[in-house]
């Protein structure tokens, strides 16, 4: 029974070698786009935020829209 | 490409946000209460609120209730937007939310009742462990469902952190929860002694890594750029430090067991990887802080950025300190002291707390379509929180260093200079100052709750927030010369498997040999299984959370062997399910309490349990007078013995049938012994069992020496 742990361990170590290959590719700068995703994530909310502001202007709560 | 219209689910985000605020208050108030118990031991009112039972409630509430809900709040908000898709299933979201809250409530009921497994941060009993597994799978199902139906091809770095969190926590939880139930509420750990310790700290350290760190790094990578409205400093750095972090973290657990009976090679492995961890950790911190380059003027005005900057700075401090504490020479000083308490609170109050608050202030007005009620109150919260952290951490650093020095101090004649009790009473002012810092921090949290309550009142929940995005092309046409790993990054399921493999390597290599190599646990022939009465007593020791204040692990230092006796050997613990080495010495080590200079009479222990300060003036230990009224549950003796036999403890065949007879014999002899000390107590009381266990501790080794 315990041997199964060894087998799992060995198979996983082999997979680990693949990981080293993966890391190597990352370190050697082969990620061809390592900039735009960081900018793209900023944009998705713009539309929604304008909706938010419009809404809060239309139905101001007690303190909504107050300059804070 | 056709543009699709869809809606983000904000209601689930709101629910998790409310739960975050509720459990933050509860968990931190529990923490304040237990800290005050060390200053005023009379606050240990009834057994249900004693330090040993409430401290696990505090740690579990803060980690799994406060931070847990914080994670889900942030993930449910950011994942939808990063994937440009609504959560996979609203039903799964609801099951996840209510299931998690039910687990928390179950924990809050069972822990004060003394239902515990006696393993730090894994105290919850086995039925709750099963529930956690189910709800965690629901969370994963919902998350991967969302990722699969996403409209954005690239998986932003935050999502990787969420995936790694899901996968690793699942593995950790299952391995640590390996337990054999013997009633429908109680169970014994599969592992014993040194193996249990290794599993425990492999789990314990990675709970810090994959519950308190990686999900929060993911949240940082989403909410910090959003709040600052600028891209993260280096996306490439985020990729590198992510892979490095998950690969290294899983190996670091043994640094919790330096100088213990854990095999030395495992200790050294833990140290090496802990030291290396500073690079990926600081990669994250630098990436977070440099995101604000050229925008530091905004930090002056924007309270949300202030919270986040303090959070990331605290992360940097804690992850510098971590590798340092992992060095054996530093651990020799810091282990078992309040230094560690300071260290974890820099992480919890600073990193997790402040980042959660920043996210709440950013997110709540957005999902309620309004503005924050009061920036001034948020600023007050910021300063209360920051000062609270300082007033908490500085006395604890001071206390830890001082107490450790006192433990190790010898007179010129070569005698230990201080009794343990002297070092405890010396700590009281520090404990009081710590409670003051904690009070400030909690005040800040309550102000936040009020501020956000007013914010919510002034707006209306945008339960379904409209959004639109083009559908993702079904088939990806690989362009010429593309690198093979692009294939991996496009596929969340494969990525999950890869992450799983990465984290498993470390775990398997460290744990498997310890299981298999018999020489790791030298068999000591004089070490015998516990008698039925001692076993019952040991379970009372576990139930009362004695391990939260007492270690059972004497390290091989002269200052320890002089004080406690022969240092602990791995072979002494082979029948300990679960191990009870502890991690903090608010009271003295008990590994050899029944032997040598430490040996005390049954009568002394009886009086000490009834009123500790009557035997040790100034002791902060709670009274355990209720053990004199509670009767030993002998109906469980049989199942307990049978469970132990299944776990390999060599009791004789059908020992379970005579166990209660032997139990009563031993109990009667202790009761008679107490009677000679003019203490009249029936033999069937729990205190008798606990005395039997205490008197047994450390005896095996001493006998063999004689």
CB contact (8 A) between residue A19 and residue B247: yes
- With beta carbons less than 8 A apart as the criterion, state whether B24 and B58 touch: no
Residue B244 distance to chain A (closest CA, Å): 8
Q: Is the pLDDT of residue B533 over 80?
A: yes
CB contact (8 A) between residue B371 and residue A51: no
Q: Determine the angle formed by the axes of helices B235-249 and B278-290, rounding to 10 degrees.
A: 150
**pLDDT tens digit string along B258-289?**
998 888 888 888 899 899 999 999 999 999 99
Q: What is the average per-residue pLDDT within A53-68?
A: 44
Q: Which of B521, B372, B336 has the alpha carbon at shortest distance from B459?
A: B372
* pLDDT score for B478: 55
* pLDDT score for A10: 43
- With beta carbons less than 8 A apart as the criterion, state whether B206 and B526 touch: no
A14 touching chain B per CB within 8 A: no
Tell me which residue in A8, A25, A61 faces B457 most closely, judged by beta carbons. A61
**pLDDT tens digit string along B627-641?**
999 999 999 999 999
Q: Is the pLDDT of residue B324 over 50?
A: yes
Q: In this complex, how many residue pairs, one in chain A and one in chain B, have their CB atoms less than 8 Å apart?
A: 138
Beta bridge partners of B3: B470
Q: Which residues of B touch A32 (CB under 8 A)?
A: 482-483
Q: Which residues of A touch B243 (CB under 8 A)?
A: 19, 22-23, 26
Q: Which of A11, A22, A1 has the alpha carbon at shortest distance from B509?
A: A11
Q: Distances from the Cα of B389 to the Cαs of B346, B347, B348, B431, in angstroms?
A: 7, 10, 10, 14
What does chain A come to in residues?
A: 68
Q: Is the pTM of the predicted complex or chain greater than 0.90?
A: no
Q: Is the pLDDT of residue B431 over 60?
A: yes
Write the burial class of residue B657 (CB in 10 Å: 0-12 exposed, 13-18 middle, 19+ buried). exposed
Six-digit token pair at B56? 């696990």
Tell me which residue in B239, B247, B375 faces A34 most closely, judged by beta carbons. B239
Where does the pLDDT of residue A28 fall: very low under 50, low under 70, confident under 90, or very high at 90 and above?
Answer: low
CB contact (8 A) between residue A44 and residue B467: yes
* pLDDT score for B240: 86
Beta bridge partners of B6: B467
Residue A40 distance to chain B (closest CA, Å): 8
* pLDDT score for A16: 57
Residue B4: CA count within 13 A, CB half-sphere: 14
* pLDDT score for B484: 63
Q: Is the pLDDT of residue B508 over 70?
A: no
Where does the pLDDT of residue A6 fall: very low under 50, low under 70, confident under 90, or very high at 90 and above?
Answer: very low
* pLDDT score for B704: 46
Tell me which residue in B82, B371, B375 faces A65 most closely, judged by beta carbons. B371
Tell me which residue in B231, B243, B508 faces A38 most closely, judged by beta carbons. B231
Please tell me the distance from the alpha carbon of residue B333 to that of residue B555, in angstroms, as a whole number.
11
Four-point Cα dihedral B452, B456, B459, B464, nearest 10: 110
Q: Is the pLDDT of residue B255 over 70?
A: yes
Residue B142: CA count within 13 A, CB half-sphere: 24
B465 touching chain A per CB within 8 A: yes
Q: Which residues of A touch B164 (CB under 8 A)?
A: none
**pLDDT tens digit string along B202-220?**
889 888 889 999 999 999 9
Residue B292: CA count within 13 A, CB half-sphere: 23
- Residue to test with chain A: of B156, B369, B372, most A Cβ within 10 A: B369
Higher pLDDT, A26 or B425: B425
DSSP string for residues in A26-61: HHTT--S-SSHHHHHHHHTTHHHHHHHHHHHHHS--
Find how far residue B97's CA is from the centre of its chain.
21
Q: Distances from the Cα of B469 to the Cαs of A39, B62, B146, B153, B695, in angstroms?
A: 17, 38, 15, 12, 70
Count CB atoms within 10 A of the CB of residue B183.
Answer: 14
Q: Is the pLDDT of residue B517 over 80?
A: no
Residue A26 distance to chain B (closest CA, Å): 7
Find how far residue B202's CA is from the centre of its chain.
12
Q: What is the average per-residue pLDDT within B545-565?
A: 94
Please tell me the distance from the alpha carbon of residue B133 to that of residue B407, in angstroms, as a whole number.
42
A20 touching chain B per CB within 8 A: no
* pLDDT score for B173: 87
Higher pLDDT, B416 or B193: B416
- Cα–Cα–Cα angle for A44, A47, A53, nearest 5°? 125
Q: Is the pLDDT of residue B684 over 50?
A: yes
B154 touching chain A per CB within 8 A: yes
B313 touching chain A per CB within 8 A: no
DSSP three-state, residue B631: strand
Range picked from B242-251, B464-473, B615-624 for highest mean pLDDT = B615-624
Please tell me the distance from the alpha carbon of residue B225 to that of residue B305, in angstroms, as a whole number.
10
Six-digit token pair at B361? 């202030």
Find how far residue A59's CA is from the centre of its chain.
34
Q: Which helix (H) or strand (E) holds B27?
A: helix B11-39
Where does the pLDDT of residue B701 fall: very low under 50, low under 70, confident under 90, or very high at 90 and above?
Answer: confident
Q: Which of B297, B161, B270 has the alpha carbon at shortest distance from B223?
A: B161
Q: Mean pLDDT lowest for which of B117-121, B142-146, B252-256?
A: B252-256
Where does the pLDDT of residue B580 fall: very low under 50, low under 70, confident under 90, or very high at 90 and above?
Answer: very high
CB contact (8 A) between residue B485 and residue A42: no
Please tell me the distance from the alpha carbon of residue B102 to that of residue B108, in angstroms, as a whole number.
10
Where does the pLDDT of residue A12 fall: very low under 50, low under 70, confident under 90, or very high at 90 and above?
Answer: low
Pairing of strands B187-189, B179-181: antiparallel
Q: Is the pLDDT of residue A56 over 60?
A: no
Where does the pLDDT of residue A36 fall: very low under 50, low under 70, confident under 90, or very high at 90 and above?
Answer: confident
- Cα–Cα–Cα angle for B676, B682, B687, nearest 5°? 90
Higher pLDDT, B112 or B492: B112
Q: What is the average per-residue pLDDT within B311-322?
A: 96
Please tell me the distance from the alpha carbon of residue B429 to that of residue B578, in angstroms, as a whole number.
34
* pLDDT score for B491: 67
* pLDDT score for B486: 65
Q: Which of B403, B387, B390 has the alpha carbon at shortest distance from B620?
A: B403
Handedness of CA B557, B563, B566, B570 (dihedral sign): negative
Where does the pLDDT of residue B483 fall: very low under 50, low under 70, confident under 90, or very high at 90 and above?
Answer: low
DSSP three-state, residue B685: strand
* pLDDT score for B706: 40
Q: Is the pLDDT of residue B157 over 90?
A: no
Write the burial class of residue B662 (CB in 10 Å: 0-12 exposed, 13-18 middle, 19+ buried). middle
Q: Is the pLDDT of residue B519 over 50?
A: no
**pLDDT tens digit string along B16-65?**
999 999 999 999 999 999 999 999 999 998 899 999 999 999 999 999 99
- Residue to test with chain A: of B4, B174, B231, most A Cβ within 10 A: B231
Q: What is the ipTM of this complex?
A: 0.70
Please tell me the distance from the alpha carbon of residue B183 to that of residue B115, in angstroms, as a whole number.
12
Q: Which helix (H) or strand (E) holds B704?
A: helix B699-705
Range 208-227 of B in CB contact (< 8 A) with A: 222, 225-226
Four-point Cα dihedral B376, B381, B382, B386, nearest 10: 150
Please tell me the distance from the alpha carbon of residue B46 to that of residue B69, in angstroms, as a whole number.
30
Q: What is the average per-residue pLDDT within B522-528?
A: 77
Residue B399: CA count within 13 A, CB half-sphere: 29
Where does the pLDDT of residue B476 fall: very low under 50, low under 70, confident under 90, or very high at 90 and above?
Answer: low
Q: What is the average per-residue pLDDT within B7-22?
A: 96
* pLDDT score for A50: 45
Q: Mean pLDDT lowest for which of A6-15, A22-31, B293-302, B512-521?
A: A6-15
Q: What is the average per-residue pLDDT within B414-440?
A: 95
- Cα–Cα–Cα angle for B101, B377, A67, nearest 5°? 115
Count CB atoms within 10 A of the CB of residue B530.
Answer: 21
> What average pLDDT does the structure give for chain B?
90
* pLDDT score for B254: 85
- Residue to test with chain B: of A41, A46, A67, most B Cβ within 10 A: A41
Q: What is the average per-residue pLDDT within B522-547?
A: 90
- Residue to test with chain A: of B153, B295, B371, B460, most A Cβ within 10 A: B371
Please tell me the distance from the alpha carbon of residue B156 to that of residue B492, in angstroms, as a whole number.
11
**pLDDT tens digit string along B69-124?**
999 999 999 999 999 999 999 999 999 999 999 999 999 999 999 999 999 999 99
CB contact (8 A) between residue A12 and residue B498: no
A62 touching chain B per CB within 8 A: yes
Q: Is the pLDDT of residue B514 over 60?
A: no
């Amino acid at each position: 029974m315990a041997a199964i742990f060894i087998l799992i361990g060995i198979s996983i170590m082999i997979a680990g070698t693949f990981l080293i290959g993966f890391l190597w590719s990352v370190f050697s700068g082969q990620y061809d786009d390592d900039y735009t995703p960081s900018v793209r994530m900023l944009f998705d909310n713009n539309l929604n935020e304008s909706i938010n502001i419009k809404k809060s202007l239309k139905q101001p709560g007690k303190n909504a829209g107050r300059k804070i | 490409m056709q543009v699709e219209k869809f809606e983000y689910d904000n209601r689930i985000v709101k629910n998790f946000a409310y739960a975050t605020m509720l459990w933050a208050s509860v968990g931190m108030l529990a923490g304040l209460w237990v800290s005050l118990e060390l200053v005023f031991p009379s606050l240990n009112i009834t057994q249900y609120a004693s330090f040993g039972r409430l401290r696990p409630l505090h740690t579990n509430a803060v980690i799994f209730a406060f931070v847990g809900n914080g994670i889900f709040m942030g993930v449910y908000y950011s994942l939808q937007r990063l994937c440009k898709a609504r959560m996979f299933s609203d039903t799964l979201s609801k099951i996840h939310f209510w299931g998690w809250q039910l687990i928390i409530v179950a924990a809050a009921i069972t822990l004060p009742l003394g239902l515990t497994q006696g393993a730090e941060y894994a105290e919850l009993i086995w039925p709750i462990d099963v529930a956690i597994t189910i709800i965690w799978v629901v969370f994963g199902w919902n998350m991967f469902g969302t990722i699969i139906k996403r409209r954005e091809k690239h998986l932003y770095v935050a999502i990787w952190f969420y995936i790694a969190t899901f996968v690793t926590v699942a593995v950790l939880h299952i391995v640590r929860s390996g337990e054999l139930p013997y009633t429908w509420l109680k169970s014994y750990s599969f592992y014993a002694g040194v193996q249990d310790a290794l599993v425990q700290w492999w789990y314990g350290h990675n709970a810090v890594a994959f519950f308190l760190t990686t999900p929060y790094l993911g949240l940082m990578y989403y909410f910090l750029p959003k709040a600052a409205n600028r891209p993260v400093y280096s996306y490439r750095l985020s990729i590198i430090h992510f892979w490095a972090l998950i690969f290294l973290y899983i190996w670091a657990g043994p640094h919790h067991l330096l100088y213990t009976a854990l095999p030395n090679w495992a200790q050294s492995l833990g140290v090496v990887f802990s030291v290396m961890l500073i690079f990926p950790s600081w990669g994250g911190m630098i990436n977070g802080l440099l995101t604000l380059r050229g925008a530091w003027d905004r930090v002056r005005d924007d309270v949300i950025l202030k919270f986040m900057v303090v959070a990331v700075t605290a992360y940097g401090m804690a992850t510098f300190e971590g590798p340092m504490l992992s060095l054996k020479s530093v651990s020799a000083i810091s282990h078992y002291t309040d230094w560690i308490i300071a260290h974890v609170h820099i992480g919890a109050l600073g990193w997790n707390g402040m980042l959660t608050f920043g996210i709440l202030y950013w997110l709540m007005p957005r999902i309620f379509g309004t503005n924050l009620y009061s920036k001034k109150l948020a600023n007050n919260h910021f300063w209360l929180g920051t000062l609270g952290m300082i007033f908490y951490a500085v006395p604890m650093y001071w206390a830890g260093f001082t107490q450790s020095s006192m433990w190790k101090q010898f007179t010129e004649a070569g005698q230990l200079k201080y009794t343990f009790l002297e070092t405890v009473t010396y700590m009281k002012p520090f404990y009081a100052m710590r409670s003051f810092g904690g009070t400030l921090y909690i005040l800040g949290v309550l102000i936040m709750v009020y501020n956000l309550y007013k914010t919510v009142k002034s707006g209306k929940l945008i339960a379904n927030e409209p959004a639109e995005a083009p559908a993702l092309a079904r088939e990806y046409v690989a362009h010429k010369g593309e690198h093979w790993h692009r294939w991996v990054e496009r596929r969340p399921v494969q990525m999950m498997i890869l992450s799983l493999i990465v984290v498993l390597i470390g775990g398997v290599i460290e744990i498997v040999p310890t299981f298999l190599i018999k020489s790791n646990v030298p068999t000591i022939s004089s070490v015998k299984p516990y008698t039925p009465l001692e076993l019952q007593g040991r379970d009372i020791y576990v139930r009362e959370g004695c391990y939260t204040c007492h270690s059972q692990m004497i390290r091989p230092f002269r200052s320890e062997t002089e004080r406690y006796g022969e240092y602990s050997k791995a072979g002494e613990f082979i029948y300990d399910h679960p191990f009870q080495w502890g991690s903090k010495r608010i009271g003295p080590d008990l590994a050899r309490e029944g032997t040598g200079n430490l040996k005390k009479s049954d009568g002394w222990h009886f009086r000490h349990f009834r009123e500790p300060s009557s035997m040790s003036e100034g002791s902060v230990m709670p009274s355990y007078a209720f053990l004199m009224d509670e009767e030993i549950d002998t109906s469980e003796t049989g199942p307990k013995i049978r469970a132990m036999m299944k776990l390999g403890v060599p009791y004789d065949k059908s020992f379970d049938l005579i166990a209660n007879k032997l139990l009563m014999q031993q109990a009667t002899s202790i009761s008679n012994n107490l009677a000679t000390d003019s203490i009249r107590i029936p033999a069937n009381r729990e205190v008798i069992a606990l005395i039997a266990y205490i008197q047994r501790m450390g005896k095996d080794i001493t006998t063999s020496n004689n």
